[in-house]
Amino acid sequence: MKIIRSIKQMQRVSRELASEGKKIGLVPTMGFLHEGHLSLIRRAKKLSDVVITSIFVNPTQFAPDEDLARYPRDEKGDIRKIDKAGGDIVFIPKAADMYPDEFQTYVTVEGITQTFEGESRPTHFRGVTTIVAKLFNITQPDIAVFGQKDYQQAVVLKKMVTDLDYPIRMVIAPTVREKDGLAMSSRNKYFTPDQRKETVCLYRALTGARKMVKNEKIYGTAVLRRKMKKIIKEICPVAEIDYIAFTDYDTLKPVKEVNRNTICSLAVRLHGVRLIDNMRFY
């Protein structure tokens, strides 16, 4: 496995691989890898000849009051995990190289970035789309694999790929969960053991609403949202619910009744840590 830290070297290697007819797969990450990330690498391995995993904690997608400084990092451990998962290249650029002093260019997707995560974190998606566009330009992938957990992000990036004519196949892989249902996240390490028990409230709320749809034939999103809020608060009284949104799976437009193309997404702050999750009910 090769480790590359230089943008120019990564560009050169990507061009060489393309000239050899190799299909390149990209898995962008911010490091501190867990099984969810590794599942994306394995998925990319099945779809491509060479898998590039990027590790970069992207400062432009963090607001000033968010956890950039304390975001967990474990470069050596990440490299070992990527190697074991079958990754071929690890790209670890420096922030000073990705965002030099005179950097002034950003990529913005409008409309679908203004709601939910975008409303709560106004500068977040501009940072995400800009860094992913840069990674696409540097690594020149044929396939890029992202996780379902950050679903709005996936929709935004798919829109960017379509609008900017990137010749890239976007693959959205299923969310990987802990045994109790909590979606795997690098931020899960922030919780104490007792707090960690309460984080199951997101998954319980989603599955509780799904049960109401399947068994009780309740499709009204207002009723489902009230039920979900009650479940969350019963499990974690200190939980602060940012949003519970029912939207069309493809367009992210809000819906008033659940149907087969609906996805439910939520964001909840638990003991100072903001978690997101989502689920389709069919």
C-alpha to C-alpha distance for 108 and 205, rounded to whole angstroms: 33
Structure tokens at 183: 């979606």
**Measured over all CA atoms, what is the biggest interatomic distance in the chain, rounded to whole angstroms?**
58
CA-closest candidate to residue 27, choices 129, 108, 136, 100: 136
Catalytic center residues: 37
The dihedrals phi and psi of 264, each to the nearest 5 degrees, come to -105, 125
CA-closest candidate to residue 275, choices 226, 237, 242, 227: 242
CA angle at 22 for the pair 18 and 28, rounded to the nearest 5°: 85
Crossing angle of helices 7-19 and 124-139, rounded to 10°: 50
Burial class of 180 by CB neighbour count within 10 A (0 to 12, 13 to 18, 19+) = exposed
Please count the CA atoms within 13 angstroms of the CA of 235 that sit on its side-chain side: 21
The helix or strand, by DSSP H or E, that contains position 278, with its residue range, turns out to be strand 273-280
CA dihedral 8, 10, 11, 16 (to 10 degrees): 130
